[in-house]
Amino acid sequence: MSTQSASQPQTLRRPRWRPGASHVVVAIAVFVLTLLAVLAIFADWIAPYDPLHQDLIHALQWPSAAHWLGTDDLGRDVLSRLIYGCRIAVIAAAEGTSIAVLLGVPLGLFIGYRGGWWDWVVMRLVEAIVSIPGIMVAIVIIAILGAGLHRAMIALGILFSTSFLRLARGVVLAEREEVYVRSARVLGASDRRILLRHIFPNIAPPLIVQVTLTVGAVLLAEAGLSFIGLGVQPPQASWGTMLSTASDFMDLNWFLAIPPGIAILVTVLSVNLLGDVLRDSVGRGIAATAEPETPAARYEAAAPAASGDASLPSPRDDEVLRVEGLQVMVASRDGAGEVPVITDLSLSIARGETLGLVGESGSGKTLTGLAILGLTGAGVRTTRGSIRLNGQELRALSGSQIEKVRGNEVAMVFQDPTTSLNPAFTVGSQIAEVVRAKQGMSGRQAWERAVELIHRVGIPRPAERARSYPHELSGGMAQRIAIARALSCNPSLLIADEPTTALDVTVQQEILDLFRDLQDEFGMAMLFVTHDLAVAADICDRISVMYAGEIVEMAEVDALFSSPRHPYTRGLLSAMPHASDRNPPLPTIRGNVPRPGSWPAGCRFSDRCDFRIPACDRRIALAGIDRSVRCIRADELEVELVS
């Protein structure tokens, strides 16, 4: 299949072009900076004239064959002065930036890691410096040290070190809480070693960006200081002094300002561009995620997975949601086309029914829920299939139409209640907001309805609780609020995505009971996404087991647990902690869940299956009507199990 996709020119052209464009930009940036360095080093040989040689007869000339960029007020050759100005620019950037880095980074690392009163004292000092306009600080330092390039750069270095200090401190503060830092401490690594060897490589990317920004800022500041006469002293040539001269003679020869202006612009731009590229390549370990190891098993998009139509659930009268042949694609990380994450997925949920969508991470269960709501996000596309809610095809709706459906007819409860609620508003106002927007109630009515809902989800003293902020509530309490918000418009379908995974078992039990009670009362259909089969056994009427983007088994809850038919379902069941007695080795499923893009071509579980036969290398359809399973040996295995 890799050869197949490689032979398609359309999928190839885009990725080739895109890195190409950024390569050109990088090449230009590198060229500009190399040119700058060469000019700085070899200025004595390259410059056509002595930059200090005056020729008052030929002052303020426009560009000509003899003077390519013309001459200045004293008849000095502008091109030569520009070339010598490179030298000043390089020295200034190197000096100013390295002083800033050497001063700011170690101090920032130290106070960020150590904290305490060190941190307090240094930060107050830095804040004092930062609160004064930068150029004034520089002028004060220069007033003390005296004018001149090197002194000006020391002043700028001190000034810019504050931004390195704050940045280094900030990233260390975040990084030192990481678990790998704890691991390093447990190892017995010294503080110095932890800072330099463990933390530093991870905070280098933002520092590199800061370096390039600083180089640009130093160049500009040097030009500025020279412009006002505090940096490079005339008659020496620097871009800043050249601009300063140009400003005096704006009326007579405006062109004088162009060469140094463009030089500053192009140099600063190149440095910043290069910084971005450097950051991305250094941050490789953090920014990039893994590529599928074998691109060989790309899904054949043309083949409609061995016509799963036979296994479609038969239409029922009280059906709320009906999904048929859903396929979702994700843009692959290397930019080479798309990788399927959900294929040939069909399900149906009736009024008052709970369907469990069970699977491990990467199986596509969460994405299924989001795809139904049309909330898949950037880079993810639903490419095939139909999603019908109460008979209405959701995929045919426009953006604003589907927005009306969300919240009114479908609602969702997420895994982590503390992040799904907005921390800036009281919980009552978050529920009232939904009611007002969707049902057009007045503010007062909406608030009353919110309090009523909060009471309904079993929270004592609801009027008081409505005024609390999410962080003031426990995890279980916050999840109850999230449920109340989801139910505020009486949806016909509730999608719950791992709603109890972040909770303690005793709280989980309460929340599951609440879901059951609410369903009895409101009669909504529920799609319950979970990785925990035992939770599914508790709450669901029917269960669909997902593996690698497809449903491998679908059955009534009692039937599934009493006689699982797919080898994967069986494996999962026997691997549950309370399924077996003491004494390891505990039963396992060998191998790992394959990532999208590296699924086996035939049965996707075949690599890990103990019952594999050669016929498993072909795609296998989900077979059976009420009780369906995607395994060609299911019948055989069942007989084996019984006997």
Partner 1 sequence: MSDEALLELRDLQVIYRGRSLLGIGAKPFHAVKGANLTIRAGETLGLVGESGSGKSSIANAVLGLVPAAGGSMRFGDVDLVAMGTRYPPAVRAQIQAVFQDPYSSLNPSMTVEDILTEPLRVHKNMTKAERRARAIELLKLVSLSEEHLGRHPHQFSGGQRQRIAIASALALQPKLIVLDEPVSALDVSTQNQIINLLYERRDALGIAYLLIAHDLALVHHISDRIAVMYLGHIVEQGPADRVYSQPAHPYTRALLDAVPLLDPAEQRARRAKRRTAALPEASRVAEAGCPYRNRCPFAMPRCATEMPPPYPVAGGGVASCFLLDVEGASARAAETELVEP
Residue with Cβ nearer partner 1 (124 or 444): 124
Q: Does 579 bind partner 1 (CB under 8 A)?
A: yes
Site string for partner 1, 265-284 (x = CB under 8 A): -------------------x
**The binder of partner 1 chosen from 98, 386, 509, 563 (CB under 8 A):** 509
As measured in angstroms, the least distance from the Cβ of 454 to partner 1 is: 13
Rounded to whole angstroms, the Cα distance separating 516 from 535 reads: 12
Residue with Cβ nearer partner 1 (331 or 575): 575
Query: Which is it for the CA torsion 82, 85, 90, 96, positive or negative?
Result: negative
How many Å is the Cα radius of gyration of the chain?
34
Rounded to whole angstroms, the Cα distance separating 211 from 452 reads: 56
List the one residue out of 244, 217, 238, 7 whose CA is nearest residue 93: 217
- In the numeric block, which tokens belong to residue 205? 């990317």
**The binder of partner 1 chosen from 100, 105, 109, 589 (CB under 8 A):** 589
Report residue 356: phi and psi, to 5°: -90, 135
**The binder of partner 1 chosen from 16, 588, 610, 617 (CB under 8 A):** 588
Q: Does 606 bind partner 1 (CB under 8 A)?
A: no
List the one residue out of 490, 529, 544, 494 whose CA is nearest residue 515: 494
As measured in angstroms, the least distance from the Cβ of 126 to partner 1 is: 17
List the one residue out of 253, 266, 259 whose CA is nearest residue 241: 259
Q: Does 537 bind partner 1 (CB under 8 A)?
A: yes
Q: Does 512 bind partner 1 (CB under 8 A)?
A: yes
As measured in angstroms, the least distance from the Cβ of 325 to partner 1 is: 27
As measured in angstroms, the least distance from the Cβ of 308 to partner 1 is: 24
Q: Does 565 bind partner 1 (CB under 8 A)?
A: no
- Name, in order, each residue with C-beta under 8 angstroms of 617's C-beta and a sequence gap of 6 or more: 600, 601, 602, 603, 606
Contact 455, 431 (CB under 8 A): no
Within the chain, what is the greatest distance between any pair of CA atoms? 112
Q: Does 124 bind partner 1 (CB under 8 A)?
A: no
Give 7: exposed, middle or buried? Use CB within 10 Å, 0-12, 13-18, 19+.
exposed
**The binder of partner 1 chosen from 81, 169, 198, 633 (CB under 8 A):** 198
Question: Among the candidate windows 424-432, 445-453, 463-471, 572-580, which touches partner 1 by CB under 8 A?
Answer: 572-580
Q: Does 21 bind partner 1 (CB under 8 A)?
A: no
**The binder of partner 1 chosen from 133, 440, 460, 614 (CB under 8 A):** 460
Q: Does 586 bind partner 1 (CB under 8 A)?
A: yes
List the one residue out of 539, 507, 498 whose CA is nearest residue 520: 539
Residue with Cβ nearer partner 1 (227 or 605): 605
Rounded to whole angstroms, the Cα distance separating 66 from 44 reads: 18
Q: Which of residues 332-391 bind partner 1 (CB under 8 A)?
A: 360-361
**The binder of partner 1 chosen from 458, 462, 499, 597 (CB under 8 A):** 458
Give strand pairing partners of 378: none
As measured in angstroms, the least distance from the Cβ of 584 to partner 1 is: 4
**The binder of partner 1 chosen from 189, 258, 380, 463 (CB under 8 A):** 189
List the one residue out of 175, 154, 157, 161 whose CA is nearest residue 105: 161
φ/ψ bin of 72: left (φ > 0), alpha (ψ from -120 to 50), beta (otherwise): beta
**The binder of partner 1 chosen from 578, 614, 639, 642 (CB under 8 A):** 578
Give 226: exposed, middle or buried? Use CB within 10 Å, 0-12, 13-18, 19+.
buried
Count of all residues that appear for the chain in the document? 643
Instruction: List interacting residues with partner 1 (CB under 8 A).
Output: 178-180, 182-189, 193, 197-198, 201-202, 284-286, 288-290, 360-361, 458, 460, 474-475, 504-509, 512-513, 516, 531-535, 537-538, 557-558, 561, 571-573, 575-580, 582-590, 592-593, 608
